[in-house]
C-alpha cells in the first residue's frame, strides 16, 4: 500500500508518499480500502514534532477515513467485503489501506458520498464526547464554540442547533462569521475586535464552552460562563497554561474540564462511537447536519493539503483523496 509517515519534524515538504506492506486484519478488525482521509489539527502538530502520540499509534499520519471493506478479521460479523464504511483511527489514515477495530467503524450515512464521509468520524466523535458526554449539554442551553469555522466548529454549530441549543461563536474574520451564521450560529463574535467574555455576559452567559484555545482563554472563558456553566477544553491552540480565578469559579459554581479522544482505550472509543451512531448519524442522514467540505487534495499531494490547512483559511473539512 501507499502511505504517509512521520519522517522528522518539519514543514509540509516533509510529507512523502511511500510504499508499505499491506496491513492484515487481526481478530475483531476490519481492513478498509481507503477512499478518503480527513485532515485534523493534530496531524499538523504531529508533523511539527509537537504531538505526544499514544503508545498504540504507528508513525503513519491520519485519524479518520472512509472507504470500502476489503477484508474482515476473525470474529467480525458486522460488515462484509464491499460495504461502504468510515472509521475513527489512532493512526494510519493517510494510506490506501488501514486495519481498524470494528467497534470504531460506522456505516457511511445514507445519502453521503464515500469520500466526504472521511470527514465525519473525528469531528462527530469529538463533539459527542465533549458537548453531550463531558459537557452534559441539555436542550435550551447556550453553547459558546471557539473556532467557529474549523472542522469541529462548523459541525458543532449545527449539532447544538439540532439538539435545541443556542450557539455563540468566535472567529477572526467577518467572512468566517458570515459562514458561521449560514451554519446556524446565533451570536457572532469577532475575537480580534470584541471581548467575547463581555459579549457573552450581555447575552446571559454560556452554559457550556467548547474551548479549542486553552491557557490564554481560561480567565475570559470563566467570565463568559453563566451560573453552573461548564468549560470543556479540547484544544490548546493558544497555549497550555492559564491562571484560574478560584473565587470566580466558586461564585459561578462552574466546572473546568478537558478531554482527549485519541489516547482513550479501545473500549472508551467504542462507547463514544455507539453514542455517535445514536446521536449524530440520524441527523446527518436527515440533512439536519451537513458536513462542509472545503477542499479535497490527492494523497499524492499531501504536502499541498497541509500547506493549505496550516493557512487556516478553510471553512469545514479538508480531505485527502487516497485513490489518487
Ligand atoms: N481533544 C480532542 O479529542 C480533539 C479532537 C479533535 C480536535 N481537537 C482540537 O479541536 C481544535 C479544532 O479542531 P479543528 O479540526 O476544527 O481545527 P481547524 O479546522 O484547524 O480549526 C481551528 C479553528 O480555530 C481557530 N483558531 C486557531 N487558532 C486560534 C487562536 N489562537 N485563538 C482563537 N481561535 C483560533 C481558527 O479560526 P480563526 O481564524 O477564526 O482563528 C480555526 O477556524 C484543534 O485544536 C484540535 O486539535 C481536539
| Ligand 1 within 6 A of CB of 245 | no
Closest Cα to atom 5 of ligand 1: 126
- What class is the 124-258 domain? alpha beta
Any ligand 1 atom below 6 A from CB of 126:
yes
Per DSSP, 214 falls in state B
Percent share of the chain, pLDDT over 90: 100
Per-residue pLDDT tens for 102-146?
999 999 999 999 999 999 999 999 999 999 999 999 999 999 999
Cell of 224: 463568559
Ranges in the chain annotated CATH 3.90.180.10: 2-120+291-321
269 close to ligand 1 (CB < 6 Angstrom): no
- The per-residue pLDDT for 126 is 98
C-alpha 15/C-alpha 22 separation (Å) is: 20
Tell me: pLDDT of 300 over 90. Answer: yes
Ligand 1 contact, 152 CB (< 6 A): yes
C-alpha count within 13 angstroms, C-beta hemisphere, residue 236: 12
CB-based contacts of 105, cutoff 8 Å, min separation 6? 30, 32, 78, 79, 85, 86, 87, 273
Separation between Cα atoms, residue 262 and residue 279, nearest integer Å: 20
Tens digits of residue pLDDT in 89-105: 999 999 999 999 999 99
Residue 79 has what pLDDT?
A: 98
Helix (H) and strand (E) counts for the chain? 10, 15
Q: What is d(CA 128, CA 271) in angstroms, rounded to the nearest whole number?
A: 11
State the pLDDT at residue 202: 98
What digits encode the pLDDT tens for the residues 16-66?
Answer: 999 999 999 999 999 999 999 999 999 999 999 999 999 999 999 999 999
Q: Ligand 1 center to residue 211 CA distance, Å?
A: 9
Probe ligand 1: pick from 147, 216, 257, max atoms within 8 Å of CB?
147
CA–CA separation, 17 and 220 (whole Å): 43
Q: Is the CB of 38 under 6 A from ligand 1?
A: no
Residue recorded with cell 498504540 = 56
In the reported structure, the alpha carbon of residue 312 is separated from the centroid of ligand 1 by a whole-number distance in angstroms of: 9
Q: What is the pTM of this model?
A: 0.98
Counting from 1 in the atom list of ligand 1, the atom nearest the Cα of 316 is 19
pLDDT of 88 over the 90 cut: yes
Nearest CA to ligand 1 atom 45: 235
pLDDT band for position 147 (cuts 50, 70, 90): very high
All CATH 3.40.50.720 domain ranges in the chain, comma separated: 124-258
Ligand 1, atom 36, lies closest to the CA of 147
Rg, the chain, Cα only: 19
Chain-centre distance of CA 208, in angstroms? 18
How remote is the CA of residue 40 from the centroid of ligand 1, in Å?
9
pLDDT of 324 > 90? The answer is: no
CA of 3 to the centre of ligand 1 (A): 25
- The CATH class for the domain spanning 2-120+291-321 reads alpha beta
Amino acid at each position: 500500500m501507499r502511505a504517509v509517515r512521520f519522517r522528522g519534524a518539519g514543514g509540509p515538504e516533509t510529507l512523502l508518499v511511500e510504499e508499505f506492506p499491506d496491513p492484515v486484519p487481526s481478530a475483531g478488525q476490519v481492513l478498509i480500502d481507503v477512499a478518503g482521509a480527513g485532515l485534523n489539527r493534530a496531524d499538523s502538530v504531529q508533523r511539527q514534532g509537537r504531538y505526544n502520540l499514544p503508545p498504540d499509534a504507528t508513525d503513519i499520519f491520519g485519524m479518520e477515513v472512509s472507504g470500502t471493506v476489503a477484508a474482515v478479521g476473525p470474529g467480525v460479523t458486522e460488515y462484509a467485503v464491499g460495504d461502504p464504511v468510515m472509521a475513527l483511527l489512532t493512526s494510519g489514515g493517510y494510506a490506501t489501506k488501514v486495519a481498524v477495530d470494528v467497534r470504531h467503524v460506522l456505516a457511511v450515512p445514507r445519502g453521503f458520498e464515500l469520500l466526504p464521509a472521511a470527514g465525519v468520524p473525528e469531528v462527530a466523535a469529538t463533539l459527542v464526547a465533549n458537548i453531550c458526554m463531558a459537557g452534559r449539554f441539555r436542550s435550551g442551553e447556550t453553547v459558546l464554540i471557539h473556532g467557529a469555522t474549523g472542522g469541529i466548529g462548523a459541525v458543532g454549530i449545527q449539532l447544538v442547533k439540532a439538539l435545541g441549543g443556542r450557539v455563540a461563536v468566535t472567529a477572526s474574520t467577518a467572512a468566517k462569521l458570515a459562514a458561521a451564521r449560514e451554519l446556524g450560529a446565533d451570536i457572532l463574535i469577532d475575537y480580534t475586535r470584541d471581548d467575547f467574555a463581555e459579549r457573552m455576559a450581555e447575552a446571559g452567559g454560556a452554559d457550556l464552552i467548547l474551548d479549542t484555545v486553552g491557557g490564554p482563554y481560561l480567565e475570559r472563558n470563566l467570565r463568559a460562563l453563566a451560573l453552573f456553566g461548564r468549560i470543556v477544553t479540547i484544544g490548546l491552540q493558544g497555549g497550555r497554561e492559564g491562571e484560574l480565578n478560584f473565587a470566580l469559579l466558586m461564585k459561578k459554581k462552574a466546572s473546568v474540564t478537558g478531554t482527549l479522544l485519541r489516547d482513550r482505550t479501545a473500549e472508551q472509543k467504542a462507547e463514544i462511537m455507539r453514542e455517535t451512531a445514536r446521536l449524530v448519524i440520524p441527523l446527518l442522514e436527515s440533512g439536519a447536519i451537513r458536513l462542509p467540505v472545503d477542499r479535497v487534495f490527492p494523497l499524492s499531494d499531501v504536502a499541498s493539503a497541509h500547506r493549505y490547512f496550516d493557512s487556516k483559511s478553510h471553512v469545514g473539512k479538508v480531505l485527502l483523496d487516497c485513490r489518487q
